[in-house]
Amino acid sequence: MNSPDTKDRLRAAAEVLFAAKGFRGISVREITELAGANLAAVNYHFGSKASLLVQILEQHVGELNRERLAMLDKLEAEAEANNTPPQLEAVLKAFLAPAVRRFLDEGGEDYPALLSRLHQDPTPELIEALVRIFAPVAERFFAVIRPLAPHLDDTSLLARSMFLKGAMLHSLSDGDRLATALTQGSVRLNDPDRVLSELIAFCAAGFRAPA
Amino acid sequence: MNSPDTKDRLRAAAEVLFAAKGFRGISVREITELAGANLAAVNYHFGSKASLLVQILEQHVGELNRERLAMLDKLEAEAEANNTPPQLEAVLKAFLAPAVRRFLDEGGEDYPALLSRLHQDPTPELIEALVRIFAPVAERFFAVIRPLAPHLDDTSLLARSMFLKGAMLHSLSDGDRLATALTQGSVRLNDPDRVLSELIAFCAAGFRAPA
DNA sequence: ACTCGCGTCGAACGTTCGTTTGATACAATC
DNA sequence: GATTGTATCAAACGAACGTTCGACGCGAGT
């Protein structure tokens, strides 16, 4: 079975599995088995299990961040054309919508769950990779949001950005476990559009709140 | 070294280590080594590594939740005496302050980090234990908050409660990694009182925002 | 004095892990 | 047709894991 796409199949399998059970929770054997490849294939194609994860991260989070930056560019262009500052809600949407939409499109909570899990992973090299990948988008958003919340000093702004990130990651990865457990399933939070609009409303008000 | 407190030392060591590197990230050997006990001690005293974790969880999260419920009781008693509903900020504080204060008192981010990590742990029995421990407090808070946000239906209320939880867990466990990385260390978010007040302001405004 | 039970100990158990090895198949190159 | 490089394979490697075992020390109860 000499197939040129073994590497792709490995990547795809690893994405699904890492998202479902985290980096440590998945063995190379499970990945290669799902991909229909030999055990040695991961190390042959990617060098190591960790490199495989980093490569996946760079690809997909990079895509996500490119979407975010594109939406921001568009926003700022419109704002400049109208000579008005962009709306806070629109800025938040630029940050949140790509992640939530991905959550919808992929038919699963793969990337958010994986990201959220990795944010809690104490392996230094993974944390470092995450920070490196996220830094440009975070800096850009910080710059755009700062003039929209002139009543907040840098500490407040950073704290609230952290809350935004936490709310997003948790709601996308936890899914509706809390809601389902609390209401015995009578209330579900599995509509991405609803989650997105609630998230925007919640965080926009949070950023507008006085210090 | 026949010491009656070997069990306690194991518990203490496990708390610190689990918090630092998660459940999977710590081996029984590391725990027993830090505790100055024999490798077999964990299984002798607790039955298994997983049971040790659950016991730690029940003890400390139980304590946390008792504090929360006590603060809520006090709030409701005052409200009833004054014939006025409790303040939204006060209710949020009852939920957030015990966790943040613990984060301060313990001199580390042990419990929040551990909790946040466990929320991402896919081991079913741990998830089940977490939900079981948290359910009573969550139900109570939901009941108290609902009349304070009459403009929100149950779906919105649950979604925003989830955001609150996510913001809290993330900010307590992530610490100021984002802030430090973004500002090259010029802004720190390591003052628990500041984080608490920001969290309350952010979430109160979030709950008040129209649907 | 003897026994019993609890706590501790070193040592080993059986598994699973990520990684490495050496052989083999096969297309492309000369 | 021989050679080279790429991809796959079964098999094994050494390490680390959670857990179990049997022996031993020792204080309490009889």
Task: Give residue-wise pLDDT tens across range A182-196.
Answer: 777 788 777 888 999
Q: What is the rounded CA–CA span in Å between residue B56 and residue A152?
A: 39
Determine contact, residues B201/A209, Cβ cutoff 8 Å: yes
Q: What is the mean pLDDT of residues A38-42?
A: 95
User: Rounded mean pLDDT of chain A?
Assistant: 85
Pick from A58-67, A176-185, B28-37, B97-106 the range whose average pLDDT is largest: B28-37
- Partner-chain residue, chosen from A25, A155, A171, that has the shortest CB–CB distance to B122: A25
Protein CA A48 to sugar C1' D3 (Å):
31
The predicted structure's pLDDT at residue B120? 63
Could you give the 3-state DSSP secondary structure of residue B47?
Answer: coil
Amino acid (1-letter code) at residue B72: L
Residue that has been written with the tokens 């239906």 in this structure: B153
B3 pLDDT exceeds 60? no
Cβ distance of A203 and B163 shorter than 8 Å:
yes
Selected for mutation to probe chain A from B118, B125, B198 (highest A CB count within 10 Å) is B198
- Name the DSSP class of A209: S
Element (H or E) spanning B184, and its range? none
Mean pLDDT of the residues in chain B: 85
Amino acid at B21: K
Angstrom distance (rounded) from CA B92 to CA B69? 12
**Is the pLDDT score of B74 beyond 70?**
yes
> Among residues B116, B100, B7, B104, which one has the least CA distance to residue B56?
B7
Q: Stretch B93-116: mean pLDDT, rounded?
A: 72
Q: Which residue of A has its CA nearest to B209?
A: A205
Quote the CA–CA distance of A15 and A9 in Å, as a whole number.
10
Residue B57 CA to residue B199 CA, distance in Å, equals 24
Query: What is the arithmetic mean of pLDDT over B11-25?
Result: 85
pLDDT attached to residue A94: 95
Q: Which two tokens stand for residue B68?
A: 């929360």
Facing residue for B159 by CB, picked from A181, A189, A207: A189
This prediction's pTM = 0.86
User: What token pair was written down for B105?
Assistant: 């008192």
Mean pLDDT of the B60-86 span: 91
Give Cα separations from A171 to A45, A56, B53, B84, B166 (angstroms). Answer: 34, 22, 25, 33, 7
In angstroms, the CA B40 to CA B130 distance is: 27
Structure tokens at A163: 């809350």
Give the torsion sign (CA, A158, A58, A112, B117).
negative
Q: Which amino acid does the sequence have at A128?
A: E
- Asked if pLDDT for residue A110 goes beyond 90, the answer is no
User: What confidence tens digit (pLDDT) does each residue in B139-181 have?
Assistant: 899 899 999 999 999 999 999 999 998 898 888 776 666 667 7
pLDDT band of B68, cuts 50, 70, 90: very high
pLDDT at residue B110 greater than cutoff 60: no
pLDDT of B116 strictly over 70: no
DSSP A120: T
- Going by pLDDT thresholds of 50, 70 and 90, the confidence category of residue B106 is low
CB of B27 less than 8 A from some CB of A: no
Distant-in-sequence, close-in-space partners of A44: CB < 8 Å, separation ≥ 6: none
A47 CB less than 7 Å from any atom of strand D: no
Confidence check: pLDDT of A2 > 50: no
Footprint of strand C on the protein (CB under 7 A): A 2, 26-30, 39-40, 42-43, 48-50; B 1-4, 6-7, 37-41, 44-45
A32 CA to D12 C1' in angstroms comes to 18
- Under the banding of pLDDT at 50, 70 and 90, the label for residue A180 is confident
What are the φ/ψ torsions at residue B210 (nearest 5 degrees)?
Answer: -65, 160
Between chains, do A209 and B204 touch, taking CB under 8 Å as contact? yes
Q: Which pair of structure tokens corresponds to residue B205?
A: 């405004």
What are the percentages of helix, strand and coil residues in chain B, rounded to 5?
Answer: 75, 0, 25
Measured in Å, how far apart are chain B's first and last C-alpha atoms? Answer: 63
For the segment A89-94, the average pLDDT, to the nearest whole number, is 96
Task: Report pLDDT for B1.
Answer: 44
- Is some CB atom of chain B closer than 8 A to the CB atom of A155? yes
Backbone angles phi, psi at B183, to 5 degrees: -105, 15
